[in-house]
Amino acid sequence: MLVTEILKDKGDAVFSVSPAQTLVEACREMQARKIGAVMVCDSDRVVGVLSERDVVRAVSASGPDALSEAVSIYMTRDVVFAEPTDTVAMLMSRMTDRRIRHLPVLRDKRLIGVISIGDVVKCQIEEATREAESLRTYIAAG
């Protein structure tokens, strides 16, 4: 399955914050949206990703004062992207190698969606279920 197919099923909603917003504002956005990461965008350009892990690291390193500081201080700057033509296997490899759970998807340098590890796992489960059903049908047919 390709990234475009996953986005077609899940939708292309992307939630973002600006680099100047505070960590607490970003945390409120993630909580309100029930998501584990937000894209950090400057105009229409992705400049970072802020995940729950980044917030935990910030508070661990700087204490509760980190929550009043800018997202840009704690965001992950080395953003790893996906492309619409990437396969699930490619995503799994990239996420595993880099130990990340969210991949922004770019088409022509424009952000068109975000793929999470949950999306990848869901896709793998659906594929395994379809394959098992096909085998059951094949065996039952004799």
CATH assignment of the domain containing 55: 3.10.580.10
**40 in Cβ contact with 49 (< 8 Å):** yes
Distance CA 95, CA 92 (A): 5
pLDDT tens digits, one per residue of 33-52:
999 999 999 988 999 999 99
Domain count for the chain:
1
Confidence at residue 130, expressed as pLDDT on a 0 to 100 scale = 92
Average pLDDT over the chain, rounded to an integer: 94
Radius of gyration for the alpha carbons in the chain, expressed in angstroms and rounded: 18
pLDDT tier for residue 14 given thresholds of 50, 70 and 90: very high
**Domain extent at residue 93:** 3-141
pLDDT tens digits, one per residue of 65-86:
999 999 999 999 999 999 999 9
Phi, psi angle pair for 17, to nearest 5°: -130, 165
**50 in Cβ contact with 67 (< 8 Å):** no
Distance CA 129, CA 142 (A): 20
Between 3-10 and 117-141, two packed helices, what is the crossing angle to 10 degrees? Answer: 100
One-letter identity of residue 45: R
